Every structure is written in structure tokens, then in C-alpha cells.
Structure 1
């Protein structure tokens, strides 16, 4: 869908909407005139949400919660046009330090939360012959630095899921976009936790010290959605890293080996 063909008002559900990229996306969507159902884990409406957005509590790990959120959208707007699977948590850790509990948490939220969202809305999207799935992954889903095995694996899973669904659902008029931002300033840094405390602290510093903010990333994501782009790389650093991996793999591999040696010190 080209930007000039975009419906004047779209019905959009955003997960993880109370902070960071989810909040920035929610604000931009409301400013554009879209109807937005903002969801997050808080029982009460989070204060930062714009007044133009509706709010519904949702834990993306809960199938019943998804059904209730979709019932809310259906009751007020008669359905949805766009689902933004944004909710996620952060983690970093070496394979022999990060615990299986941390792996399970990341898989449940960052991967299966997206799977549940896609499964929940696809029947209605098929029935109406249109819809757009927007899955927020990460550059970590494409470029796999050492010390981030669990996070890299689940974000790569979101990329693979999105590519699969792009081909699977296109005959039904459903678009799929996967966004892969690199580090940017967001509340995600506060969710870093786990046994490998040194790497968690490094992750927080990279997030908090980034030159990019959530508003900038959100604007780039929405431009990609309007253009019906499948893959959205939101910043120059990410584009360089992705192209290096694809087109200059020895250079990329050497950089990753250097990172591994630094991690081993």
C-alpha cells in the first residue's frame, strides 16, 4: 500500500505500548489520525499514553488475553487493520552463564508473544482480505554478535517467522513488515536482567548511550509500513552491518571474531 493509498483511518493494535518504541509508535499513529488500541501489562492505563489511544491490558504470553484484546477492538471498531507486535524484554549473556530460565523468558515474550499475536489476528485478516502484521525484531535477528545467544536466537526467529508469513499470507492480501532496529534509547534497557551481570550492564550502556531515540526509530518504521516494505532497517549502523554480512562476509566475520576475543578476556 503506497502512502497516498493508505486509508484515512486505520485500526491498529500496539503491544508494549506504554514505553519506548511502543509508546513512540502509538503517539505517531494517533497523530496521523489512526484508531489505536494500546496494550501493555499494567492493569491501569499508563500515564504516558496519548489521550487519543484506547488502552487494554495484555500479557502477550496469554492466549485468553489476546482474545480479550481483539474482542475490545472488534467491539469498538469492528476489527483491526494493523497489528504491531512490539512487546519485548532484553537480555545478554554467555551461553554457559545465562540460565535456562532466562532463555524461557525470552522465548515466551519475544518470540511466542509475536507468534500468538499473528495467530490471533490472521483469521480475521484472511476473512476481510487485508491486514498488516508489523513485527518488531532487532538487528540482533540479522547480525549475531557474541554474548547474546538467547536474544539473537529469538529475534532471528521473529525475522524467520515474518519472512515465512510474508509469503504464506500474501495470497490473502495480508502484508508483513519486520523492523530490525539496532541500539536506540528506550526503556528496554531497564529490562536487562540475568546471571551474566557484566553483559547486562554493557547492554544497558549501549541502549542508554545511543544517539538515536525512539521517536526517530518509530518514524522510520512507519514509513516502511506505509511503503509495504518487508524488512525495515532503521539506521545507518544497521544497514552497514547487514550489508557487510551479506556482501563482505570475511570482514563481518573478522569483526565478530574480534568481539568474541574481547568477550573472552
Structure 2
């Protein structure tokens, strides 16, 4: 059986790193792309004992030419790629008027257009091969509408819509899509925050650290979903419940529940800050 091949954007930390290690342990050829060369080299050293052909390639998802260079390199070295994980992302919490427009530009360029570029560049390669699978990492924020996160919510909702559309477009072909919508989990997402005060950054870190679901747990679920060609991956039980509530409950009742939960969360943070 031919060794399978995977490429992961944002692969040098957090969920991207966990996915890379999960696939390396399963015997896949693994390539990570990232803008952080230092972390890329560190993860590559972790991967090499597990997957001797592992690669780290500098890749900024805001540059289509970087993604094209990766596609060309993997075609030359590996003869193609079987799975592409569009994982790179950043956050920008805050009410609509509190998030600078330049932060909106940055978040949309990375979270939305970064996924679009990944799919745009690799779809022709997948079609030439006759097979291929995208894993697009969105967020529960893309399915819900949590207050004070309009920029992040909107960017992740776009990834949901894009992925659902591609699933329709790829029907009956050898191409597939998996959409991943995690809630909070232990990662370094807070590092991507700009124009926020230390209290907001600390609050985000606390929420991430409280999660009982790890990046490794989510990587396991992604591995299983790709193998079974499952579309939706919602790793958190509470997230699945919230999504169900949004779809089934009257909008006013759903809004009251969500706002009550957010007030409780902020109240808990305020007590800890004091």
C-alpha cells in the first residue's frame, strides 16, 4: 500500500502540531507549513523519528504563491498529497466597534482567504490525482453567534459556508471535505491577539486552559473523520448541544440562554481577577 501524504497549514503549534504528530504516528508522510521557522524546525525534529520523510516548509497562507510552492514541492518529492488541512487561524475578540478595521482585514485574510487559497491551490492537484481530502478548521464560533466576537464569528462562519459548498461541488467525485468546529481547547490562540489589553488576553487563556478537550483529542477525531469521510466534526459535547439548541429553539429563547452563559463566564473571570 502506498504511504499516504498530508500537508497542514499552521502546523508548527497547537492543533496543527497535534494533527501532524497523529498522522506521523500512523505512518503517513507529513509536511507542515507555518510562518514561524523556529517552531517549524522544532516540530520537524519531533516528527522525524516518527516519519523520516517529514517536511517543514515556510508558508504564509496570505500568500497564494507560498501555497503554490508547497504544492509544487510535494508533487516533485512525493508525487502529490492526499489530505490538506487548512488550519492556520487567528482571533480578535471584542464588540464590533472595539475591533479596529485593520484587525478585521487581518483576521479575514488569514481565517477566510487562507482557507480559500488552500482549497483553490490544491483542488486542481486533487482533481488531477482523482482523489484528495480537505480538512477545513473552523470553530464552534462559525456555527453559533457568541456576543463580543463578531469578527472571529464572521470569519469562521465563512469557512463553514465554503466547506458546505465544496461538499456539494465534490459530490460524486473522489474529493472530500471535513469541517472541524471545536469550542475552546488548550492551544496558543491567545498569542495571535492584537490590540487587546492584558486582562482580555488573560481571560482568553483561562477559558482555553479550562477545557477538558485537548488538541490531541481533536486530532484523533479528525483522523477518524477523514478515514470515514465524515463531514462535521464537533469535538465538544456542549458545543453539539449548543448547535442543536440554535437550530431547534425559538431565536429569543436561544439568545437568552447564550447571553446568560456568557455573563456567567465573564462573572467567573471577574471574580478570579479580583
Q: Report the TM-score when normalising by structure 1.
A: 0.91
Q: Could you tell me which residue of structure 2 aligns to residue 19 of structure 1?
A: 13
Q: How many residues align?
A: 259
1:177 corresponds to 2:171: no
The equivalent of 1:74 in structure 2 is 75
Q: Residue 37 in 1 paired to residue 37 in 2? A: no
Say if 1:197 and 1:171 are closer, same or farther in 2 by CA, change over 3 A: farther
Aligned-partner Cα distance in 1 for 2:16–2:170: 25
Q: 1:259 Cα deviation (Å)?
A: 5.5
Distance 1:205 1:194 in 2: 18
Question: Which whole-Å deviations, capped at 9, do the CAs of 1:19-44 have from their partners, x for residues lacking one?
Answer: 10000000000110111111111245
Cross-structure match for 1:241: 242
Change (3 A) 1:181 1:8: farther
**1:189–1:208 Cα contact (<8 Å) kept:** no
**Aligned-pair CA distance for 1:187:** 1.4
Aligned counterparts of 2:102 and 2:234: Cα–Cα separation in 1: 30
Q: Is the 8 A contact 1:94 1:148 kept in 2?
A: yes
Q: CA RMSD in A?
A: 2.1
Of residues 241, 252, 255 in structure 1, which corresponds to 2:254? 252
* Paired position in structure 2 for 1:168: 169
Cα distance between partner residues in 2 of 1:169 and 1:41: 30
Q: Does 1:190 align with 2:184?
A: no
Q: Please list, as runs of the form range in 1=range in 2, the aligned pairs for 1:132-147 lying within 5 A after superposition.
A: 132-147=133-148
CA deviation vs aligned residue, 1:36-76 (integer Å, no higher than 9, x gap): 11111124542133112211110011111111111111111
Note the residue ranges of structure 1 that are not aligned, 5 or more in a row: 1-6
Q: CA deviation at 1:179?
A: 0.3
Which deviates more from structure 2 when the two are superposed, residues 85-94 or residues 208-217? 208-217
Provide TM-score, normalisation by structure 2.
0.88
What are structure 2's unaligned runs of at least 5 residues? 267-274
Rate the CA distance shift 1:232–1:39 in 2: closer, same or farther, 3 A.
same
